[in-house]
């Protein structure tokens, strides 16, 4: 048995790794950043997350509405029975037995009363969304001419809690709430040909034009450009749609046995979805005018702009290297009492203001130079080291002034960053270590107040270092 004792003094840690003449002199500094709320007209919305519903924001008292349009994917090289084996018939040709759209909800990310009825309009698109077009949350498919006037239109009421399913099934593990929209009314295609239901149209397209089912591009451009899901009526629910499927059912004969099959289409990450958000700008502006704090509010609501003391940090120690710059954004608890409080954003992005739009349009991941991500921890969002951002901003200013003495006036946002609510996709390896694989604008309801605003500077802690002079 042995007893070991050691000192807790950490002053000399690391000094043995460098020569005496190469030891660093470390100094620190404290600076102040300022912040303000800025209203956001719209955000980039061409990504997989989509929300649907209409609610009254408890903070503003105004209404927020989310709608979406989506394409559908096909299984490439899928195998269907021979056309002669299909038993369904309509006007002398093959036919599907029925057709349905399934809306599957992610209840963990839905907002509001699960029993509240909502009415939905489903409208067929006249043309597919374009990969080359930039879609923001204020894009209106109706006014932009994306809706086929004589195309499929369907209305239906639903609630998040599907009460048509028995309680014994709804209470089982693995059950997911869903809603089904039948597409079994007569459907007329663009050429004027009528079918007994939408499924029959797709089924016959498969056999008449197999080249249309070669891949997603040929499918959306020749068969199904997609649908727009519009809020028609209802208030009090914002549903997170985790999956959207179209199922076309048919029966066929093989040998002497009759089988039942389906042609399955799904809205997957490989195809396009875009969300439309309708917000009350006047109500949001009232929060922006509150100078006692700043706000982060999604979807497409309010961001926080931070003015960083780049000159002060860079000029305080001109001969030193910048080792670390840390900044924390503390939350203020809301004093609003409501049955359904808004979620606090789990993650936020700090991004250079000049590159805010291009960051999301190019679907970039944060790079620890011009952009950083922070999660909510201990009631604050903490950025442990944004030194590269400070260095980048100082460099951009110095290079700009070399060619243009009026560069600063022409680039008023050169030292500004923006805090943005994020939706992050996180995967885990076999050791349960997390990795962020994708980020996007938060399209679900979320809101928080941050310490800042007029008269409330935000402390920044800076560490400098330089080699000792001989």
How far is the C-alpha of 348 from the C-alpha of 58, rounded, in Å?
22
How far is the C-alpha of 157 from the C-alpha of 40, rounded, in Å?
32
How much is the pLDDT for 13?
45
Backbone angles phi, psi at 153, to 5 degrees: -140, 130
How much is the pLDDT for 466?
83
**pLDDT-based confidence at residue 384 (cuts at 50, 70, 90):** very high
How far is the C-alpha of 455 from the C-alpha of 230, rounded, in Å?
44
Q: Are 412 and 305 in contact (CB under 8 A)?
A: no
Q: What is the mean pLDDT of residues 451-459?
A: 95
As given in the structure block, the two tokens for residue 206 are 């498969």
Distance set, CA 470 to CA 22, 35, 49, 318 (Å) = 9, 43, 59, 19
The DSSP element (H or E) to which 382 belongs, if any, is strand 380-383
**pLDDT-based confidence at residue 14 (cuts at 50, 70, 90):** very low
Q: Are 62 and 56 in contact (CB under 8 A)?
A: yes
**Residue 327's closest CA among 370, 390, 398?**
390
For 355-364, b/e burial (b = at least 16 CB within 10 A) is bbeebbeeee
Quick one: CA torsion of 108, 111, 112, 118, rounded to 10 degrees?
A: -100
| Residues, the chain | 470
* Most confidently modeled range among 74-78, 401-405, 436-440: 401-405
Mean of per-residue pLDDT scores for the chain: 90
Domain boundaries in the chain?
Answer: 23-41+281-467, 63-278
86 DSSP β-pair partners: 252
Report angle CA 196, 201, 205 to the nearest 5 degrees.
Answer: 150
How much is the pLDDT for 190?
95
pLDDT at 10 over 50: no
How far is the C-alpha of 450 from the C-alpha of 456, rounded, in Å?
10
How much is the pLDDT for 352?
96
Chain segment 352-369, per-residue pLDDT in tens: 999 999 999 988 899 999
**pLDDT-based confidence at residue 105 (cuts at 50, 70, 90):** very high
Please state the separation of Cα 392 from the chain's center in Å.
27
**Residue 239's closest CA among 440, 52, 13?**
52
How far is the C-alpha of 234 from the C-alpha of 330, rounded, in Å?
36
How far is the C-alpha of 384 from the C-alpha of 418, rounded, in Å?
17
How far is the C-alpha of 427 from the C-alpha of 374, rounded, in Å?
16
Report angle CA 174, 175, 179 to the nearest 5 degrees.
Answer: 145
Binning the chain into helix, strand and coil, the percentages to the nearest 5 are 20, 40, 40
Chain segment 137-187, per-residue pLDDT in tens: 999 999 999 999 999 999 999 898 887 777 777 777 777 888 999 999 999
Output the 3-class SS for 274-300: EEEEECCHHHHHHHHCCCCCEEEEECC
C-alpha count within 13 angstroms, C-beta hemisphere, residue 208:
11
Please state the separation of Cα 181 from the chain's center in Å.
25
């Amino acid at each position: 048995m042995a007893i070991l004792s050691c000192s807790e003094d950490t002053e000399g840690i690391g000094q043995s790794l460098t020569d005496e003449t190469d030891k660093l002199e470390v100094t620190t500094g404290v600076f102040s950043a300022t912040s303000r709320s800025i209203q956001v007209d719209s955000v980039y919305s061409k990504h997989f997350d989509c929300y649907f519903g209409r609610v009254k924001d408890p903070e503003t008292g105004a209404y927020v509405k989310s709608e979406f349009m989506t394409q559908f994917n096909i299984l490439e090289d899928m195998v269907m029975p021979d056309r002669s084996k299909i038993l369904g018939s309509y006007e002398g040709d093959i036919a599907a037995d029925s057709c349905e759209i399934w809306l599957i909800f992610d209840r963990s990310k839905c907002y509001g009363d699960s029993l509240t009825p909502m009415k939905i309009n489903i409208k067929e698109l006249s043309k597919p969304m374009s990969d080359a077009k930039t879609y923001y949350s204020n894009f209106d498919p109706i006014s932009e001419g994306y809706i086929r006037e004589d195309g499929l239109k369907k209305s239906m009421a639903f609630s998040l809690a599907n009460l048509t399913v028995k309680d014994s099934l709804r209470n089982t593990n693995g059950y997911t709430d869903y809603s089904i929209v039948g597409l079994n009314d007569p459907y007329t295609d663009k050429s004027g040909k009528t079918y007994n239901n939408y499924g029959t149209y797709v089924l016959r397209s498969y056999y008449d034009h197999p080249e249309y089912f070669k891949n997603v591009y040929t499918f959306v451009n020749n068969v199904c450009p997609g649908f727009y899901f519009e809020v028609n009526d209802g208030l009090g629910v914002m549903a997170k749609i985790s999956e959207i499927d179209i199922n076309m059912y048919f029966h066929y004969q093989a040998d002497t046995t009759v089988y039942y099959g389906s042609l399955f289409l799904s809205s997957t990450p490989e195809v396009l979805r875009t969300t439309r958000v309708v917000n009350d700008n006047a109500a949001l502006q009232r929060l922006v005018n509150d100078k006692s704090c700043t706000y982060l509010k999604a979807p497409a609501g309010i961001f926080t702009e931070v003015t960083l003391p780049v000159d002060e940090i860079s000029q305080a120690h001109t001969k030193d290297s910048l080792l670390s710059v840390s900044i924390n954004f503390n939350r203020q608890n809301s004093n609003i009492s409501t049955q359904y409080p808004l979620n606090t954003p789990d993650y936020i992005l700090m991004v250079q203001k000049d590159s805010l739009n291009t960051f999301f349009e190019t679907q970039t991941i944060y790079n620890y130079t011009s952009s950083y991500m922070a999660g909510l921890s201990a009631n604050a969002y903490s950025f442990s080291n944004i030194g590269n951002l400070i260095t980048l901003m100082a460099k951009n200013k110095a290079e700009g002034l070399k060619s243009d003495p009026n560069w600063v006036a022409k680039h008023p946002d050169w030292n500004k960053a923006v805090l943005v609510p994020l939706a992050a996709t996180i995967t885990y390896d076999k050791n349960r270590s997390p990795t962020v694989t994708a980020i996007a604008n938060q399209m679900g309801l979320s809101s928080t107040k941050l310490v800042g605003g007029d008269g409330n500077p935000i402390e920044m802690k800076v560490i400098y270092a330089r080699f000792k002079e001989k």
